[in-house]
Structure 1
Amino acid sequence: MASLTLLADFLEPLNLFALSDDEGYQEGQLGTVIKAYEEEFPDLDDADIILLGCGEQRGTGRPVNNNAAPDAIRKQFYQLHYWHRDMVIADIGNVKTGASLNDTYAALYSVLQELIAAGKTVVILGGSHDLTLAQYKAYANLERVIEAVCVDARIDLAIDSVHWNDNFLMEMLTSEPNFIRHFSHVGFQSYLVQPRMLETLDKLRFDCYRVGHVKERPEEMEPVIRHASLFSFDVAAIAHAYAPVNRITPNGFNGEEACVLMRQAGLSPWINTIGIYGYDPAMDVQDMTAKQIAHMLWYVVDGRFKGKNEAPLSDETAFNAFHLAFAEVEATFLQSKKTGRWWMQLPDKRYIACSYHDYLVASNNDIPERWLRAMERG
């Protein structure tokens, strides 16, 4: 994978002494095991997760742009302890700031495109939420049809705004040719969303999940996230008390719920880009948001560690199979013996991700809503 060293042309190396306040790291801390781009570009051949910073925030209308945000997150993450001995984490530094916003987009999706093509999983430390558009363009340039999940208190379809941060989803979901097979929005807060936005997304057979619904049954989001390739998380989805940089709303997910969603993203065998956006260190209080994001990153690693050994569905010995009929439809449900995750069979014999709750609904001779939505989309 020597060709990936050419990516260094788009990147700025890290200063580990600055990140550790010249104190270095103790044995067992992540800072001692992460393969960081400091003087030499790291070998990425065996990397399970690659960190990539991009502090671009001109999509919000702010003229200032630097990489203080990714480095502030790293400062907290590198101090955490390393529990996952088989996981190799690399950090390739920060995307160089372009002369224009589009130049930074181009640099970001160029780097992501190469890493995706090489079969790597990348976590982007942002930067404003519109960087999700560059995240998507990496797949579009590879002509890969994907499923995408966004976690945000708002739905960024505000066509009356001149800022990409407010309306990037319009370009992402409607541009031609389009490579979005399915889109799910997780954690929206009703009073922050124009009802017509939800109607539009529903007509497109996309799924939206209100924050209250997710908080009641966070395990129901795992099947939503499992088949995605692109995962994008705006810290505006986290309540202000847990993420002080969120000045949009006092409500949202608590810290543990945010970590659960990130662990679900790490657990997915298909997700290969995860973006964490909306962090501004100038708006933080005692680095609490940076610490929250660092903990979320730790759970991405935890999820990937747990999911690495999941068996393929063809391995019948690795799953419990449950055959039943609901509403005159015969179906098989599978439960993994290793991770406890569930799948259900459609009439065309395809298996889709589902939950234990879907199995219980079907057991009562009712049709799971997830099954219906899948049938509608075909």
Structure 2
Amino acid sequence: MTFASLQLNKPVLGALPSQLTKPTDIQRLAIPSILKGGDLLALAQTGSGKTYAFGLPMLQRVNTELKQVQGLVLVPTRELASQVTDSLKSVGVKLGIQVAMLCGGVTPEYQQAEIEQGAQVVVATPGRLLDFLNKGLISLKSLSQFVLDEADRLLEMGFWPDVQKIFSFAPAARQTLLFSATLPETLEKAALGLMYKPERVTANQQNSVVEEIHEQLYLVNKGSKPQALIALLKENNWPQVLVFVGEKKAADNLTKRLSKAGISVDALHGDKEQVTREQSLADFKAQKTQVLITTDLLSRGIHVDALPVVINADLPENAAVYVHRVGRTARAGNKGLAISLVCHGESLALNAIRQLTGRPMETTELKGFPVTDKPADPTSNTERKRPPRDKKANRRSQAKRSIKQFKPKSKTS
């Protein structure tokens, strides 16, 4: 099958990037459906080409004579907003279509200027878009297509109130498209409430991991994870490795450990300035940095060409996040490796991932790292004991004679 067989017009076909030679399953299913004009709920694995699945028909329907917002793509993160914008611009610029991005980390004045210059397609994160809508800096009165990309994340409570408010600004006569790799049953009711008799297409089994990903799980002691990670990196010398952890502080601490071990590494998380985040990601993509340690900021939608390895230094508490994390590798039909370092304390998370994906995900021991930690007794109802108090610290505190002694010593220049 070719893109020409999907009812795309000649201008769009002529503007396709050179790498788009054959439509993926989700593109084959979604594009003709979107061009019919009805609402669509589309489920497809991460890395399956969802952006062009909704982007190409959106660009085809833009009236280039109308200098107002006609297509809107809502995404959960700045990094995904940047990636989707670049993909749509690669086609839109050849069609004379203005594509703009609205997200945090960029001065609102610059983005406002892009809107005022006649942006016809906008890619936005919820917070910045809602701010522009409330201030009257953008109008959705001419909106004909509204896309929620990574819809499951946007339907969660953290974003849901803003998403509902944004929909109140959109015309009732619009086409609504929801795309995601995962959609738990608990969120599907909210999704359907935004749509009118949507068609549903599924390119792959819902919540599944692509077959091209080889999963390897190592059972290690919780305290051995940093050294186990270092050992794996030094033994295999992969050119690029994306490492996921659970918290921002853990990302920074692990980065320091790897750096001391002589590994080229950087950290990327929400506390970093936007310009720093963009530079860190650019250096990683260019293979100037071998290892990038991140929180779930990058688990959704970020594309790194032929990324060979993803490592979960911590398992995510949300099982669906695992699917998004490991989906950073084996994209566009390539093969990839997903390694998880698992400790006994993560057994509940591991079982939830097994249940969601339907995969056995057996653990093995890592050579040189024997497991000495004991699994928790699931039948035990005893509460966790408080950690022992530092008696010496208490005596030191009691020995202080005045409040001044508790103040930190001033640094000498």
What's the TM-score once normalised by structure 1's chain length? 0.27
Structure with bigger strand share is: 1
RCO higher in structure (CA 8 A, sep ≥6): 2
State which structure, 1 or 2, has the greater radius of gyration over its C-alpha atoms.
2
What's the TM-score once normalised by structure 2's chain length? 0.25
